[in-house]
Amino acid sequence: MTTLATPQLAVQGFSSLYEIWILLGILFLAGLGFGVANVIISHILGPSRKGNVKDSVYESGVNPVGTTRDRFNVRFYLVAMIFLVFDVEVLFLIPWISSFNDSRHPWLHAAHGPLFLSVVIFTVILLVAYIYAWGKGVFKWD
């Protein structure tokens, strides 16, 4: 493992990296609390009158027919699968970005040729997958 000359994770003014994630965690919890509080408040303050018709689902005034939880076209599943593959491949590119164009570290700058080559190969593999899926008609929506 090659090490960097300067600490990369030191965040200006913070005593540790954890503090910024504690901040983000507090923000997330605040958002969660906002949601919970709103749901509870409107549950307490709002009226509640139940009825047979009111409790049924809205289907434009027609009585509901059949069940909702039915089998569905497999094409949505295929989209999710293809997305999964591409998503993983695209996220592999992210660490490459910050090491490829890094002028602060001479050894990274010197290595930019091999770094570029390996990402080109990786992108070509991605492209092959894409062309295959296109050829198989995965992206045809009709």
Partner 1 sequence: MVGVFIAHLIFALVMLGMVTGIIAYLILLERKTAAWIQDRIGPNRVGPQGLLQPLADGVKFILKEEFMPIHADKILFILAPIVIIAPALCGFAVIPWGGDLAAGTALPKFLGGWAFPHTFHVMVANPQIGVLFVIAMASLSVYGVVLAGWASGSKYSFLGGLRATAQMISYEIPMVLSLLSVAVVAGTLRLGPITDLQATYFSSVSFLPAWNVFTQPVAFLLFVTCIFAESNRTPFDLAECEQELVGGYHTEYSSMKFALFFLAEYSAMITGSAVAVALFLGGWHLPWIDQLLYHGAQPVATGWLGMLLKFVVFWGKVIAFLFFYMWVRWTLPRFRFDQLMNLAWRGMIPLSLATFVMASVFVYLRQEGIIEHRGWLLLGNVVLIGIMFAVTELRPADSGNRRMYVLNSRYNPIPASAKAELESAV
Partner 2 sequence: MDYALIIATALGAIALYLLLPRGRANMVKLGGLASVLAMGVGITYLIHWTAAAHAGHTGIIENLFFYAFAALALVSAAGVVCHPKPLYAALYFVLMTLAVSGLFIMLMAEFIAVVLIIIYAGAILVTYVFVIMLASQGGQTPAAQYDTNSSDGFMAVFVSFVLLGTVLQAIFCAGPAGFMHSLPAPHAVAHGLGSLEVLGANLYSRYALPLELAGILLTISLVGAVMIARKNEPVAHVLGTGDLPAE
Q: Where do contacts with partner 2 occur on this chain (CB under 8 A)?
A: 1-5, 7-10, 17-18, 21, 66-74, 76-78, 80-85, 87-89, 91-92, 94-100, 102, 105, 108, 111, 114-115, 118-119, 121-122, 125-126, 128-129, 132-133, 136-138, 142
Does 71 participate in binding partner 1 (rule CB under 8 A)?
no
CB 116 within 8 A of CB 100: yes
**Closer CB to partner 1, 2 or 114, in the complex:** 114
Phi-psi region of 30 (alpha: psi -120 to 50; beta: other; left: phi over 0): alpha
- Cα separation, 114 vs 90, in Å, equals 19
Does 139 participate in binding partner 1 (rule CB under 8 A)?
yes
Nearest-approach distance from CB 59 to partner 2, in angstroms: 16
Comparing C-alpha atoms, which of 75, 82, 86 is closest to residue 142? 75
